[in-house]
Each structure stands twice: as structure tokens, then as C-alpha cells.
Amino acid sequence: MRVRDVTNLHREFDGERLPPGQRETSKFPVLSKSGTPEWNPETWEFSVTGAVENELALSWDEFRDLPSETQRQDFHCVTGWSKFDCEFTGVTLPTLAERAGVRDDAVHVMFSALDDYATNLPLDECMRDEVLLAWAYDGDPLPSEHGGPLRVVTPHKYAYKGAKWVNAVEFLTEPKRGYWEKRGYSDTANPWNEERYS
Ligand SMILES: Nc1nc2c(c(=O)[nH]1)N[C@H]1C(S)=C(S)[C@@H](COP(=O)(O)O)O[C@H]1N2
Ligand SMILES: [Mo]
């Protein structure tokens, strides 16, 4: 299987592979605000709404039929650990956005999840091939505590910008803040600039 290696992403941000103030771990800790939500593959639905030409409502099977790829990425948690060489498989955000036809007035994106988590990114900072809606980790189905069946990964940002258990993407015509962004974490979240708090 072909793997796209994006572990050199830090160069775009003029940083070392290990961002300042981070330590590398080989473990994969779990950070969830409120435990692991249940999901039912029969009724699960993924929605794309807002400033798009075609709103989407995809079943699990329809989502799994979208074109996908595998990437090797680094994962940086704002609490100070980084995990290198994570292999995630899923759909790139540009692929999904193309299906929905993002309108010209879209400037921002909100990701929402089954546990009522939400996180936001400016459109131009998430229309990147590294932003994956991932259902597999290291070749296995994404473990439920890490966001299975489906999560977002954002290797260019601290990991709270990647919603686990994601089931909705809304394209917005003005910025809004998600769960941690409303509670004092940085809205911009660039690990190489140590944008941890706002
Ligand atoms: N839906 C949801 N997504 C979430 C969270 C959460 O609590 N709920 N926590 C975030 C935080 S703070 C981090 S660091 C990463 C942790 O991912 P992990 O548990 O797979 O390490 O998920 C992010 N995405
Ligand atoms: Mo986090």
C-alpha cells in the first residue's frame, strides 16, 4: 500500500520536527473531554452543511466509498506530548469539500462530533491534504477511544483541532469558536509557535 509521508510538514512552518516545549512519546495517550460515545453503524450519518452547493448526508457505507489514502503523520498534543509516524487512512478534507462544492463566501469550518465536541479552523488552514477524516490507524480500524469510527487529524495544528467521533462539517461565512477555543485554548494552535492558550 502506498503511504504518503507528510512528516516533513514542520519545514513549511520553519520548525524542528519536535515542536518547542514538546516531548516525544511512543505511547498514544487518550484525551477526551467526556468519555467515548456510542455509535450505531446503521443510523450513523455524516453531514456536510452550510456554505456549500450540495449539502451531503452520507451513511457509513457511502462515506467509506469516498476516495481515501494513507498518510504517515506526526501528532502534537497541546499538553506536551508528540507522537511521530502515525499512519492514518481516510478521506482528505479537499476531497470531501469538492463533493459538496464549497461556495465562494465560505471562510471558516466547524467540525462537530458525537460527544458534543466541536472545533474550528479557517477555510484556508484546513483545505489541506494533510487534514484527513480518518477511519484507520496503523492499518486497523480506528480504536473507539481515539475517535472511531471517524476522526479528523490536523498534523499542522495541536491535536484538539482534530475532532474525534466527527459526524458533521459545517462551512461558515464567518468565524466561530469550538469547545476548547471558547475555553482559553488558542484559536490558531500552531505548535511551532507554541500557540497553546489565547
Ligand atoms: N470529539 C472529541 N474530539 C477530540 C477531543 C474530545 O474530547 N472530543 N479531544 C481533543 C484533544 S484535547 C486531543 S489532544 C485529541 C486527543 O486524541 P487522542 O485521544 O486520540 O490522543 O483529540 C481531540 N479531539
Ligand atoms: Mo489535547
Query: pTM higher than 0.85 for the full model?
Result: yes
The verdict on residue 133 lying in a domain is: yes
- The protein residue with its alpha carbon nearest to ligand 1, atom 22, reads 160
Tell me if 3 CB under 6 Å of ligand 1: no
The verdict on residue 51 lying in a domain is: yes
The verdict on residue 124 lying in a domain is: yes
Tell me if 168 CB under 6 Å of ligand 1: no
Alpha helices in 13-108, H assignment, sequence order: 60-64, 93-100
- The protein residue with its alpha carbon nearest to ligand 1, atom 24, reads 163
CATH of the domain at 66: 3.90.420.10
Tell me if 29 CB under 6 Å of ligand 1: yes
- The Å distance, Cα 22 to ligand 1 centre, comes to 17
- The protein residue with its alpha carbon nearest to ligand 1, atom 19, reads 30
The verdict on residue 71 lying in a domain is: yes
Query: Three-state SS across 111-143?
Result: EEECCCCEEEEEHHHHCCCCCEEEEEECCEECC
The verdict on residue 88 lying in a domain is: yes
Residue 167 sits at the vertex; the CA angle it makes with 124 and 159, to the nearest 5 degrees, is: 55
pLDDT at 150: 98
Distance from C-alpha of 190 to C-alpha of 19, rounded to nearest angstrom: 9
The verdict on residue 20 lying in a domain is: no
Q: What is the mean pLDDT of the chain?
A: 98
Specify the ligand 1 atom closest to the Cα of 163: 3
The verdict on residue 56 lying in a domain is: yes
Distance from C-alpha of 46 to C-alpha of 96, rounded to nearest angstrom: 11
Tell me if 160 CB under 6 Å of ligand 1: yes
pLDDT at 1: 75
Q: Could you say which residues of the chain have pLDDT below 50?
A: none
Q: How many domains does the chain have?
A: 1
pLDDT at 10: 98
Name the DSSP letter for residue 18. S
Q: How many residues does the chain have?
A: 198
Q: pLDDT for 7-59, tens place per residue?
A: 999 999 999 999 999 999 999 999 999 999 999 999 999 999 999 999 999 99
Q: Which residues constitute the domain of residue 101?
A: 3-10+43-193
The verdict on residue 165 lying in a domain is: yes
Residue 23 buriedness (CB in 10 A; 0-12 / 13-18 / 19+): exposed
Type of residue at 121: L
Tell me if 88 CB under 6 Å of ligand 1: no
